[in-house]
Every structure is written in C-alpha cells, then in structure tokens.
Amino acid sequence: MSARTVSTRRTATAVAGALLAAGALLSVSACGAGQISQTANQVAAVNGANQTFVDQKITLTDVHVLYPVSGSQGKLAFVLTNLNPQQGDKLKGITDEKGRAATISGDTTLTAGGSLYGTAPAGSNSKAADITRLTVTVPVDSTWRPGLTSKLWFHLEKAGSLPIDVPIDAGAASASAAGITVTGGEHAGEHGSGEGSGH
C-alpha cells in the first residue's frame, strides 16, 4: 500500500468523523432551541378562565367559582382590568345564562387603567394594601360541575356585556362533595345588585 493511499484514507476518515460530530452538535442545538422556545411560550397555570376583549380594552383574569360552594350560592373570584388609560368604566352587574344576577357588594367603579377584584381566591393576599376587593356571589345549581364551565356575562356601563365561560374550582372533590345543589327556582339570586339584563 502506497503512502499516498494511506494518507487519502486517513483524510477521508477524519473528514467523515468531523461531519458526524458537526451533525450531532447541530441536532443537539436544534433540540435545545426547541425546548427553550416551548418553555418561553408556556403560560403559568391558574384556576380560572382568562379572556381579553381587545375592542373594549378589557381583560378578565382567573375567573372561577371558589370551593366550597355554600348551598345555592358560590363566591366568584376574578380580576377585571381596564386597559384604557384615559377612560374609566363601571361594572353594572354579572348575570348567568338564565338571566339570574350575581350579588355584588362594594364600589364597582373601574378606573382608567385600573382593576376590580372579586372574592379572594385561596392562598391570595386578601388584605393587600393596593387591592380593594368586591364580595361577589353567583347562583350555582346542578349545571355547575367540576371540569365543566358555565357562561357568565359581565355588564359594563361603557364596554357593554362581555361573556366568559367560567369553571368551578372544586379541586379533586366530586360535585356532591362540593355542595352543589339545585337552586330554589329560576329566579333565585335576582335580588342582587347586578343591573345587567340578559345577554
């Protein structure tokens, strides 16, 4: 075997090895880049529903009925935010699919660029200095089930009626353990301060 043949084979082997190493490196890099991208786009898990109403410049965040439910009423947690930095609004009421109104206690004025907070979810700081919470209860009947959603409408003076599908936060408990019972009638809960009408 000539020196020239040996040299050629060694060169070919070295080149092939370098190409394989480069391919493996690119593969690992691409895989890692994909993982970083996916992680960057993940949204933190929350208990409730989130909805942005772009035209109305309103967002509803972490909207859910708190566990446990007491009788035929459930406490409603939410953050209602006004994205308009120049114009305020007012929450006039909250109604369900049957037109029944929530009971709302507290100042429902929504300042420009401000937020309204519903009943404090478990684990939250309900006495934070910069947060004033409303006390809100909604009629809860047999149509509310853990794992399912029921539609509520948030009625605002300027932004109008904004629908959102709301879950009940009952954890691992069954519907019966969550205390869900049928309300006394179609108009249960209409004595509340909600002024919204229909959908």
What is the overall mean pLDDT for the chain? 72
Average pLDDT on 110-137 reads 84
Average pLDDT on 50-59 reads 96
Residue in the structure block whose two tokens are 């043949």: 5
- What is the rounded distance in angstroms from the CA atom of residue 73 to the CA atom of residue 62? 19
Instruction: State yes or no: pLDDT of 43 exceeds 60.
Output: no
- What is the rounded distance in angstroms from the CA atom of residue 122 to the CA atom of residue 125? 9
Q: Is the pTM of this model over 0.85?
A: no
Contact 155, 195 (CB under 8 A): yes
pLDDT at 170: 57
Contact 183, 139 (CB under 8 A): yes
Q: Which tokens belong to 174?
A: 């069954």
Quickly state the pLDDT bin for 118 (edges 50, 70, 90).
very high
